[in-house]
Structure 1
Amino acid sequence: MSTYEDRLAELGVTLPDAPAPAANYVPWAIVGDLVFVSGQISMQDGAFITGKLGDDMSVEEGAAAARTCAIGLLAQLKAACGGDLDRLVRVVKLTGFVNSTADFGDQPKVVNGCSDFLVEALGDAGRHTRSAVSAASLPFGVAVEIEGIFQIG
């Protein structure tokens, strides 16, 4: 088990197997020392976490959904690294999409669920640049989708 996975275990998190893509794309691509991970949607225990922020979901519920996206991102990164999560050098960039109403403005607070988890689990390697934007809808009605760029060694 990797050092990062030890830390995840301390947090009560076991990474799931990386899910297969749901359409005609690859889950991740390596270019040089960067891994580009396709958007991971909010899921827990095999079920979609659905909802629209500003309507039927609170910021706290949205942040919890974003945390599940972080776990999905790490699962894909582990797969990209041949099972060795300790190849991670740092999280470079996240782009978070929040299923929200037109007047909802707390997208950054929602995506913090992912960002905060990555820093908690990975320490300084988890600090990253980020965008957090609204989406009128997301696949399967999920609340959050987050994609990431990671540097590996």
Structure 2
Amino acid sequence: MDQTVAAQEKSRDRLVDITLDAKSLGRANSNIEHEREVAIFDILDGNAFRIDGIDAGPYKLHLSLADDRLSMAISPSGEAETVEHTVALTPLKRIVKDYFMICESYYEAVRTAPPARIQAIDVSRRALHDEGSALLKEKLLPRIIVDDDTARRLFTLVCSLHWKG
């Protein structure tokens, strides 16, 4: 077994389950559903997630939206105790809106555009995604500490919660 994978499996600073609030989810097309499923799979496959001052992981995470805030209900696996953490999403609104627009352009381009055009749109899409995940990671601090890959996938989940079809 790879040492990194073995270390992640032994680490208590990780997520082992993620659920999304059904009431927070909008009507999604197949692309959004796929992005959501891949993000959850990838997070659970390998992540770094720590709550400052608490060493009770690994953790279960339930995400929901309420009043332009991301609500994170975090519980140690196997325990009923839950830590609530909310993050204001107002700073992310512009990035999420721009990200949705570029994703729509990307999905349309995949059907009709030449490869060079698809690649150019994808570069822009990835740049916006990186910007959003860096801002989300910053907004989680100092309470929640995640690595860059986990922040990227959490940003995907935040976007999927915002998607209204």
Structure showing greater relative contact order (alpha-carbon pairs closer than 8 Å, 6 or more residues apart): 1
Q: Higher strand proportion, which one?
A: 1
Q: Higher helix proportion, which one?
A: 2
Tell me which structure has the larger Cα radius of gyration. Answer: 2
